Structure 1
Amino acid sequence: MKQQKTWSARFSSLRAWCWSVHEKRSYNTLRYPMTNRILLLLYPIFIVCMAELNQDKYPSKLVLFISDHPTIMLFNILIAALIFLGALLLFRSGWFSMLLESILYMALSITELFKYNTNGNHLIMTDMKLARSLKSLTSFAYIKITPRLILYLSICVAFILAAYWFNPRFNARVKLSKRLVPGLACLIACVMVVTVPFVSKPVYALFQLDTKAADNTFILNEKFENNGFLAFFMQTGSENLSNKLEEPEEYQEDSSHLLDQYLAEEVPDLEFDSGVKPNVIEIMSESFADFRAFSDELEELGYTDLDQYYVGLDEAASEGYEGTLIVPTYASYTVRTEFELLFGLPVKSINDPNMPQRMLLERQQPTVPSYYKSWGYSTAYVHPFQSSFYSRKRIYGQFNFDTMIFEDDFTVPVNTYGEYIDDNVVYNQIEALIDATDEPLYVHATTMQNHQPYTDGDSEDEFVNYLSRLQHSSNGLADFLDRLAEVDEPTIVLFVGDHFPSLRGDDGIYSQLNITSENCSTLYEQRYILWSNYDLNTSLLPEEAVSTFYAPYLVMELIDAPRDSFIQSMMNEMETEPVYSTNYMPMQEKNDKLDTLTYDRILGDIISPSALDVLPDPSEETIESSASD
């Protein structure tokens, strides 16, 4: 009983204290009207400065930005003021409105800080689509809570606590029904600045935002320097929305006639060389890049003898054919390169989305693996990571893979190297698939071993740690190919890296190499290897660089795979326009043929010939099976 009285007394004391605080805050609202007006007026300026300061790190840099770009800072403050006013009208409470906006601004600011420090790419609105994969992303990110970050967050908390104590409020006599419309109007106005070109273009021009087309990561980075974080985030959001792919007018009017003019009229009658259907192994190696392209510059920075890290790759190249592919991405967005390999189509033709697989319609897809399946192959996809990341399991389930293996599905012993599953485990799994499959096998493997972060390792230099992982992967590839050489089944291997690695932002190796939008093209050039355990005529393969989406057709050419008019059209186009890439050639004109064929297969009616014309429709099989049951 005594204990019960004690708890009751404590609760009563707490309630009395809360009531006294409430009374004091209500008193402060009336007692300090000038202080409250100042808090309300200063808040938009305060939160903008704190969000930008979190990126600039030093107040002096923020002051320089404001002096150089006063109109952009004014734009940021007006947007923040509109958001704040909208929240204030809706909720009346000054401190609560500040809390909501502070959470929004500082959460975005901190995300931008961590993202750029991790891979040198700035945060854009389309990155929000990855929120569902937050757990995976945190394993990649270089997250470091610094004293400076804690200080800036503490200042924000102190401002909100001050507002809580002095309790500025909107006039209590104005009912919600009268506040609702103007409050929503303020918020809608902010949304319209981003989403409606008719509004955004004159507004951005008025406040002198940098609106030049951002054709690659380095142009984006320069735009960030000009606009600062908040204006950059909004302007690139507008840019991405206005870049939405629309159905070509000619396709809408008469798609069949339009496609006819782009499809090859003459198609050779091929049925594999001497009837041999080789295993086709496609290895897209995560972040595998040959930094010897920068040997001279790296040597000046103290990085010597780079050849030691690529011994295995050079051995593979000496036994096969090597060339250069132009990949559609740098440092991140692996699925761009994966899309081009699995569809044989350019991401440039669908306006370079960061996640092209999210654009696909819910239907069976006319993919490269579907061609192999129609030719009597068993098809498999191997990726040693979470099946939910990029929604791969759900989306790729429509790509005509017979088998899909993710991190929990391996049938061989699993071990890690660094943070992720060892590339050698992937190679062992491919061998197991070859042994277990009676039909010829097509495999696409996207590895994971060399993914960031590179903070773990024997060195404090993340670039050295990266090179060590690369060496392990390179040697593993050579060993894998040595084993395949002993396999009695004809086998061909395509090996290519998806992109140069994600390395730190301001102090990373790319900054040390002084790479800018003017000299970044090398970062989109990836060395590829075509290897086989039997004689192949590689004399027809192109000596010049070609875009990654042509790689599947290089393999088909080598093995004399059957062709339809679509495949032949793509092979013909490889000769006339070998590179079609926004990042690599920012000023390149649109290619109507490639754009139309891509639209038809991704968002159109798939009028162009594809393997889907001969493969059974799984949905129809399901219906028939249900009916028979």
Structure 2
Amino acid sequence: METFIRGDFLEAKKWMEEHYNPFILNYLIFIVFFLLFLGLFNDLLFSTFAFSLFILLLSFINRYKYMFLGENLYPWDILLYQQMFNLFPELIKEVDQQKLILASITFVVIMAALIFIKKKITFAVFRLDLLKRLVLIVLSVGLIISFFAFRSTPLKHLFQTLQITHINWNQDSNYRINGFMLSFVLNTESTIVFPPQGYGKANILQTVGDLEERLPQEKPANQLEQKPNIIFIMNESFWDPTQLQSVTFSKDPMPTVRQNQIGWLLSPQFGGGTANIEFEALTGFSVSFLPTGSIAYQQFIGRPTPSLATVLTKQGYEATAIHPYYDWFWNRKNVYKHIGFHKFVSLDDFEKNKAEYRGPYIADLEVTKEIIKTTEATEKPDFIYAVTMQNHGPYEKGRYGNVRVNIESSQLSEEARGSLETFTQGVYDADQALAELMEYYEKSEEPTIIVFYGDHLPFLGADYLTYKEAGFVDGEWSLDEYRKMRTTPLVVWNNFSEDIPSLPETISPSFLAPYVLDLAGIEKPLYYRFLEEFSHQMPGFTTSVKSDGSGELHKSTPENVKPLEDTYLRLQYDLLFGKQYSMDALFEGMKLE
């Protein structure tokens, strides 16, 4: 298993020798699982086969998840089975077909061999009576539960004795040092988010009181007679491919964005996990305070939760979410209700209107049309959060037929060049769709703000193939390379003022809302005044890399920012998981339904 995941037997052997205790624990965990299979099936050979298939399946899922998204398999991924099944036909295109065929043939051969052996060899007939099977099942299940709840079991003492460390702040190191199965088990303790030390009503109210004293409400400098429409467009995988300096492009694929770009968005994700960027932008919360690899929409939003949608609704806005894909994907159908949207326009609505596809997904231009139609249909000011789908990967060569932007590079393989060309055409289409949207509102009498950005960089081949071949990243990443692999272009545009808020050059999605509210001339609730204060000190805030107010990069939060970080953590826990003691003060008495 470790050989397959690491891609090299010698690497797996080296791990076993250098990290002997974790290796033994991985082995013991698997023995317990095998005993469960044996108790359930009561057949030695079949249990061996089923158990081996179980290991193989876990290995394949982990390896290919890491290849596609740069993340290992985590316990909470079990909740994402719908998404995996839905995307499987597209992802399978990226898997080496020869290896897939070889694995299938091997599977058939092993099955045939097992049937033959079972008929010919008497020791293969292994049977336990019912009582012994029940004892085996109960024992193995009890041990497995102990693995997954080791905080309160004798296993915790065992792990400490063997000097096993759960490196939850760096999952790459966690899986590399502790091995797959032990790391998976260790991560189960992170499926529950525990309250910060000292959390309670008195503590939270004291924190809020300090904020009220330090951050008094101020009248917006930019008062408007009519509240503007506020339109967020989170464009799927939008990124500037001309950042690859070893590649030549026949023309600029994103002239509209380049002309209007005011900075960079520092995404908490690479290649996937779109819902987490959306979660940060809409709630002002940070996924840095959540278990690594978790999806907040899927795991943590199950009740009314404050968001930019609820804040603007209180100001008289009509809140609409738009996404031309399945409404169940990332649990959006339920989450949008919890965070205050009045309406969700999803794939079913686009297909009813016979929307145009570009490749396998609804075209970005159709999202532009839906945004315009939404604002035309309402008398109120509109808040729209639109998530596009056209440029979702994988980026198979020839997806669009003829492309408008050709690329040249002596460094890229045919595979990398093909995927990059397809992705670049998607960028070109997204830019054209944005240009059409701006052109419409340039002529509109309704004041309108447009915020446009990419959710994350695209997955361009397994193991960062295109980025490595182009020389964009190489080997062990530096902080600057982490920054490059997490930043997407950010546009903030309006049709009523030449003044644009002075945003930090690089900013996390969590901190966009305060600047947009300033531009809209809307008073900021206390929570957003706090986010603004935090962003002055640490505008880029992710697990992988952080950037401070002067643009300096950090792996960990600097000491002078830690008090603000502690406040941020406590407020987020209270609002997302806790008793919401701070709700009235942070959102000025706003009631959630």
Q: Is the 8 A contact 2:230 2:450 kept in 1?
A: yes
Judged with a 3 Å threshold, the aligned counterparts in structure 2 of structure 1 residues 530 and 199 are, in CA distance, closer, same or farther, namely: farther
Would the aligned equivalents of 2:75 and 2:191 in 1 still touch at CA under 8 Å? no
Give the corresponding residue for 2:474. 514
The RMSD of aligned alpha carbons is: 3.1
1:476-525: per-residue Cα shift (whole Å, max 9, x none)? 21222122211111111000111111232247223433254433221122
Q: Choose which of 467, 491, 496 in structure 1 pairs with 2:453.
A: 496
What residue is the counterpart of 2:404 in the other structure?
none
Q: 1:414 to 1:203 in 2, by over 3 A?
A: farther
Taking the aligned partners of 2:239 and 2:185, their CA distance within structure 1 comes to 30
Question: What does residue 8 of structure 1 align with?
Answer: none
Letter matched to residue 323 of structure 2: H
Residue 280 of structure 1 aligns with which residue?
230
Establish whether residue 258 from structure 1 lines up as the match of residue 204 from structure 2. no
Q: Which moved more, 1:342-351 or 1:445-454?
A: 342-351
Conserved in 2, the CA contact under 8 Å of 1:283 and 1:446?
yes
Q: How far off its partner does 1:442 sit?
A: 0.7
| TM superposition shift of 1:581 | 1.9
Secondary structure in 2 matching 1:529: strand
State the percentage of identical aligned residues: 21
* In 2: Cα distance, 1:350 partner to 1:271 partner: 35
In the other structure, the counterpart of 1:436 is 377
Change (3 A) 1:113 1:577: closer
The alpha-carbon deviation at position 614 of structure 1 amounts to 5.8
Residue 109 of structure 1 aligns to a residue whose secondary structure is helix
Q: Of 267, 273, 296, which residue of structure 2 is paired with 1:327? A: 267
Deviation per residue, 1:20-68 (Å, 9 max, x gap): xxxxxxxxxxxxxxxxxxxxxxxxxxxxxxx4555466xxx32552255
> Structure 2 CA distance, aligned partners of 1:274 and 1:56?
58
Choose the corresponding residue for 1:604, options 559, 578, 589.
578
How many residues end up aligned between the 2 structures?
546
Task: Classify the secondary structure of the residue corresponding to 1:404.
Answer: strand
- Compared CA separation, residues 156 and 313, structure 1 to 2 (3 A): farther
SS at match of 2:54: helix
Residue 91 to residue 237, structure 1, CA distance change in 2 (3 Å): closer
Match of 1:314 among 230, 252, 258: 258
1:340 matched residue in structure 2: 280
Partner of 2:307: 367
Q: What pairs up with 1:53-132 in 2 under 5 angstroms?
A: 54-55=4-5, 61-62=8-9, 65-66=12-13, 68-70=15-17, 71=20, 74-132=24-82
Contact persistence 1:115–1:141 (CA under 8 A): no
User: How is 1:206-225 mapped onto 2 (pairs within 5 angstroms)?
Assistant: 212-215=167-170, 220=172, 224=175
Cα deviation, residue 558, structure 1 = 1.3
Query: Using the alignment, how far apart are the partners of 1:90 and 1:406 within structure 2?
Result: 43
Flag the 1:76–1:614 CA change in 2: closer, same or farther, 3 A: closer
Larger Rg: 1 or 2? 1
- Once the two structures are TM-superposed, the CA of residue 572 in structure 1 deviates from its matched residue by 2.2
2:527–2:587 Cα contact (<8 Å) kept: no
In the TM superposition, 1:79-228 aligns within 5 A as 79-143=29-93, 144=95, 145=97, 146-154=100-108, 156-158=110-112, 160-162=114-116, 164-165=118-119, 166=121, 168=123, 172=127, 175-197=129-151, 212-215=167-170, 220=172, 224=175
Give the whole-Å Cα distance in 1 for the aligned partners of 2:339 and 2:16: 49
- Asked if structure 2 preserves the Cα contact closer than 8 Å seen for 1:495 and 1:528, the reply is yes
Q: Please tell me whether the aligned partners of residues 54 and 152 of structure 1 are also in contact (alpha carbons under 8 angstroms).
A: no
Structure 1 equivalent of residue 249 of structure 2: 305
- Residue 441 of structure 2: aligned partner: 484
Contact 2:79 2:298 in 1 (8 A): no
Cα deviation code 1:426-465 (max 9, x no counterpart): 0110000111111111100011111111114258521221
Distance 1:282 1:584, change over 3 A: same
Task: List gaps (5 residues or longer) in structure 2.
Answer: 402-413, 547-554
Uncovered stretches (5+) of structure 1, i.e. residues with no partner: 1-50, 619-629
TM-score when scaled to structure 2? 0.83
- Measured in 1, the distance between the counterparts of 2:326 and 2:468 equals 32
The one of 510, 516, 526 equivalent to 2:488 is 526
- Whether the 8 Å contact between 1:120 and 1:505 is mirrored in structure 2 is no
1:109 deviation in Å? 2.4
Q: Distance in 2 between matches of 1:75 and 1:599?
A: 33
Distance in 2, Cα, partners of 1:354 & 1:445: 22
Question: Which whole-Å deviations, capped at 9, do the CAs of 1:91-125 have from their partners, x for residues lacking one?
Answer: 43112322431332222223234434444433232
1:234 aligns with 2:182: yes
8 Å contact 2:233–2:453 — kept in the other structure?
yes
CA distance in 2, matches of 1:493, 1:355: 26
> In structure 2, do the counterparts of structure 1 residues 253 and 438 end up closer, same or farther at CA, with 3 Å as the change threshold?
closer
**In the alignment, which residue of structure 2 is the partner of 1:552?**
513
1:36-51 mapped onto 2 (5 Å cutoff): 51=1
Q: Which residue of 1 aligns with 2:410?
A: none
> Which residue matches 1:447?
388
CA distance in 2, matches of 1:156, 1:106: 13
For residues 154 and 463 of structure 2, the distance between their equivalents in structure 1, rounded to whole angstroms, comes to 34
